[in-house]
Amino acid sequence: MSHYFSEIFTGGKSLLVGLGVTFKALTSPVVTVQYPREKIDISPNMRGHIDLIKDSESKNGLHRCISCGLCARNCPCSCIVVKGEKQEGVKGKVLKIFTLEFSKCSLCGLCVESCPTSAIDFSDEYELAAFSREAFNFDLLKRVQQGDTK
Amino acid sequence: MGTLTTRFSTIQDPDEKHKFLLNMGPQHPCTHGVLRIVLEMDGEYAMGIDPILGYGHRMHEKMAECRQWSGFYPNTGRIDYGGAIPYNHGYCALIERMAGIEVPERAEYIRVITVELNRIASHFLGVGAYVIDLGAFTPILYMFDDREDILDALEDITGSRLTYCHHRVGGVSKDIDDLFIKRTRAIIKNIRSRFDMYDRLVTGNIIFQKRTKDVGIIPVEMARRYGATGPVLRGSGLGFDIRKNEPYSVYPEFDFDIPTGENGDAFDRYMVRMLELEQSLRIIEQALDKLPDGPVMAKVKRVKLQPGDCSFSVEAARGMLTYYLVGDGSNVPYKLKIRVPSYSNLSLLEELCKGSLIADLVSAMGSLDLIIPEIDR
Amino acid sequence: MSLSTELVKILNAVEIKAVEADYKKQGYHVEVLLNKDQVRDFSKIMLEKEFYLDFVTAVHIESGFQAVYQFGHFEESCHVNAKAVTKDGTIHTICDIFHGANWHERETHDFYGLKFTDHPDLRVLILDEEDADLNPLLKKENKLKSLEKITRSEESQDKPAKSVKNKAAAKIREKKAKPEVKSEDKQDDKPAESS
Ligand code: SF4
Ligand code: SF4
C-alpha cells in the first residue's frame, strides 16, 4: 500500500519538475519569428538556384561565361542547357542559350565548382513557389540581361 | 497499386475467431514516414508482425549504375534525411579508397566536425520524435530549438539545411571560417547547459520511464543474428562503434568514449543517444582546437574505378553504414550496394515485439530510431 | 594471432578458399571465394566465430550471378567478404543461420530475381507486387561484363590504365575537332571532369 502512495508521490513530483521547465520558458524571450511579416537574415552561403554573375568588367560586359559547357556536362540531373555560337569578329564563343530547369536541380554545387571562369553562383532566393513546372524553367541569360541577378 | 498480400491470410479457423488483423501505417504517426505494418492481434497483444516496405523506394542503387560516380553525390544526401552528412562522407571515402586519393588534413577535420554536428541534430530529431510517440509533446520543441542552431551553422558552410552535399572526393567543397568556429563553440556551450533540463523534462519523467524500461529488450546475441548496429546495439551493452573498431578519417586522434547501456531496453537506447550527444560535442571541441591550416581539397585527376570491389564503413547516426562498390575500369560504378543501418535494425522488430502489447510495440519501434526512406532507399 | 589470420586458417582447413585482403585498398580483411554449395557451411562457421551479418547482395555478370556476403565482427576489427558464383540463378539461403539475412535475401530476390532455395518467405519486400518480375538491377545485354572484368588482378590493373590514357587522349582530340558541346548526349563512359 505504501508503495502505491509513494509511486503517486514520485510521479506527481516528476510531473511538477517537468512543468517547472515549461513555466520557466514562459518568461524567457520569444524565439519564433512571424514569417512572412518578419524575416530573418539568411546565410550568404545558402544555395538557391544558380545564376550567372553580373560582371561589367568581363569581355562582353555582362557575364564571364565562355560557353564551354562544363557545367552542363557535370550536372548529375542534366538540368542546364548551354549553347554558344561563333560570331564574326569576336574571339571565342558567344553565349546564346543558358537555361536551368530548376525543378530537377538538386543543389549539389557541382556546376558552380566546375566552372573554369567562376561565371555562375548560387542566388539567395528561397521564396520559390508556383503552380506549374514551367515556372521553374529559368532563362538565366535573360535574367542577367535584365539585371535580375545579384 | 495491387493488393499487398501479407503473410497472414484472413483468419478462418473458428478457434481463432478472437484474432483480427490490424493495419498500422503507412500513415501512422509513430512509423516516422511511410512504413506499413500488418499486425495479427489477439486482443491487445500483437501475435504476428509483418512490416511491408517500399513506399518510399527510389532505387538509388540503380541510379548509381547509370551515371558517373560523381553524379551520385546528391543522392547520398537523400537516403537518410535525418543524418545526411555521414552518407556524404562514406561515399567520398569509398571512392578515395578505391582510387588511392589522400585527403588534406584540414579537410578531414572539417568532415569530422560536420559529421558530428549532423549526428547531434539527428539524435535530437530521433529522440524528440520518440518522445512524441510516447505522448509528450513539449520536449521536441526544445530539442528542435537546439537542432535549429546546428542547422543554421551547417547551412552556413554546406548551403543546405537537410539534404547536404558538402563532401567531395579529395576534400570538402567549402572551407570553414572563424565565424563558424565561434558559432559552433557557442552552440556547444548552449547544448551542454541544456542537458540538465532534458534530464528533468524527459529522463526523470515517471511516465516516460514506465513506458520505456523493460520494453523491447534486445540481447546482444539477437543483435548479432540480425546485424543490428548503432545505438540499438550499444544499448544492449556492447560498445561497438566503427569509429573505434576500424578507425577511419582522423577519429583516432580524438579522445571520446562509447556510451553503452545495460539491459538493452528502450530506455537504454534512449540513454545511449543522449550520452552520445556529449561525446559528439567532445569530438567537435577537440577538432576545433586542433584544426590545422592548409588546403581543403586535394588535386584530383580523373578518377577511374579500377576493376575489383571495395567497401567502406562509417558510423552514421543510426548505426554502421557500408558502401560496397564494384568497379569495371570505367567511371561508372558497375554495382553499388548501400547497407543502411535502419534496415537491419528494423528486421529484428518481429522477434522483438512478438506477443507484446501494441503500446509497447510503439515504444520499442520508436526506440529503434528508424528513418523509413533510408530503409526503402 | 589476429582474428583474420585465424579465420583464414580455419576456412582453409575445411577447403574453403580464403585469403587475407589488403584492408587499405579493399576495405575488408578477409576475402573468401565460395563454391555455390559451401555457403551454408561457411555461414555456420561465421556464426560460431561470433560474426554479424553486414549485408547480402548480388552482382549480375555474364555467366549468371555473383552472390556477395559481407560479415563483420563486434569486438575485433575484421570484415569478411565472401563471394559465390551461381550460374543457374539459385543459391541456398542462410536466413535460418543469420536471421538478418532474411530481408537481405528478399531484397536481392526483388532486385535480381536470384532464387534463394529453402527461403521460408520469398515475397517481394521493397518493390510493389505488380513489379515482382521487374528485377530492376538486372543489366542489359550490352552492359554485362564477365567476372574477370570486374575482379581485381595485377594485369587488369595495368591494362585499363593504358587504355584510359588512350581513351582520354582520343577524347581530347575529338573535342578539339568538334568543339560543339551538347548537354543532351550524356554518355555513360565519359571521363569524369573533376574541378
Ligand atoms: S546545382 Fe547540381 S543539379 Fe543543380 S544545376 Fe548545378 S550541377 Fe545541376
Ligand atoms: S562552366 Fe562556366 S563558363 Fe562553362 S558554360 Fe558553364 S557557366 Fe559558362
Q: How confident is the model at residue B15 (pLDDT cuts 50, 70, 90)?
A: low
Tally the domains of chain B. Answer: 1
Q: Do B160 and A47 touch (CB under 8 A)?
A: yes
Render pLDDT for B211-256 as a digit per residue (tens, 0 to 9).
Answer: 888 888 888 888 888 888 888 888 888 888 888 888 888 888 888 8
**Closest to B111 in 3D by CA, of B339, B298, B272:** B298
Q: How many CA atoms lie within 13 A of C30 on its CB side?
A: 28
CATH architecture of A50-146: 2-Layer Sandwich (3.30)
Confirm if B49 and B343 have CB atoms less than 8 A apart: no
Whether the pLDDT of residue C91 is over 70: the answer is yes
Q: The CATH number of the domain where C62 resides is what? A: 3.30.460.80
Render pLDDT for C107-152 as a digit per residue (tens, 0 to 9).
Answer: 888 888 888 888 888 888 888 777 777 888 888 777 777 777 777 7
Spans of all domains in chain A: 1-31, 50-146
Specify the higher pLDDT residue, B105 or C175. Answer: B105
Q: Which chains touch A (3 or more CB pairs under 8 A)?
A: B, C
Residue B368 lies in a domain: no
C-alpha grid cell for residue B298?
586535394
Rounded to 5°, angle at Cα B88 from A114 and A120: 25
Q: How many CA atoms lie within 13 A of A72 on its CB side?
A: 23
Average pLDDT of the residues of chain B: 84
**Closest to B348 in 3D by CA, of B249, B233, B211, B237:** B233
Q: CA-to-CA distance for B233 and B213, rounded, in angstroms? A: 16
Cis before B26 (ω within 30): yes
At residue B6, what are phi and psi to the nearest 5 degrees?
-110, 175
Residue B184 lies in a domain: yes
Q: Which residue has the cell 479457423?
A: B13
Residue B183 lies in domain? 60-341
Q: Indicate if ligand 1 lies below 6 Å from the C-beta of A107.
A: yes
Is pTM, for the whole model, over 0.90? Answer: no
Q: CA-to-CA distance for B91 and B166, rounded, in angstroms? A: 12
Residue B13 lies in a domain: no
For residue C162, the surrounding DSSP H or E stretch is: helix C154-177
Confirm if A69 and C178 have CB atoms less than 8 A apart: no
Residues whose CB is less than 8 angstroms from the CB of residue A81 and which lie 6 or more positions away in sequence, other chains included: A72, A97, A98, A99, A101, C183
Q: Do A73 and C195 touch (CB under 8 A)?
A: no
C-alpha to C-alpha distances, B132 to B199, B298, B358, B366, B367, nearest whole angstrom: 16, 44, 16, 9, 12
Render pLDDT for B325-341 as a digit per residue (tens, 0 to 9).
Answer: 888 888 888 888 898 88
Q: Which residue has the cell 542546364?
A: A80
In chain A, which residues have their Cβ closer than 8 Å to the Cβ of B138? 18, 21-22
Q: Indicate if ligand 1 lies below 6 Å from the C-beta of A81.
A: no
Altogether, the residues listed in chain B come to a count of: 377
Q: Do A72 and C183 touch (CB under 8 A)?
A: yes
Q: The CATH number of the domain where B274 resides is what? A: 1.10.645.10
C-alpha grid cell for residue C160?
585499363
Residue C110 lies in a domain: yes
Residue B22 lies in a domain: no
In chain C, which residues have their Cβ closer than 8 Å to the Cβ of A110? 195
Residue C39 lies in domain? 3-157
DSSP three-state, residue B41: strand
N-term to C-term CA, chain C = 45
Render pLDDT for B229-241 as a digit per residue (tens, 0 to 9).
Answer: 888 888 888 888 8
Render pLDDT for B135-179 as a digit per residue (tens, 0 to 9).
Answer: 888 888 888 888 888 988 888 888 888 888 888 888 888 888 888
At residue A17, what are phi and psi to the nearest 5 degrees?
-60, -45
Beta bridge pairs of residue B174: none
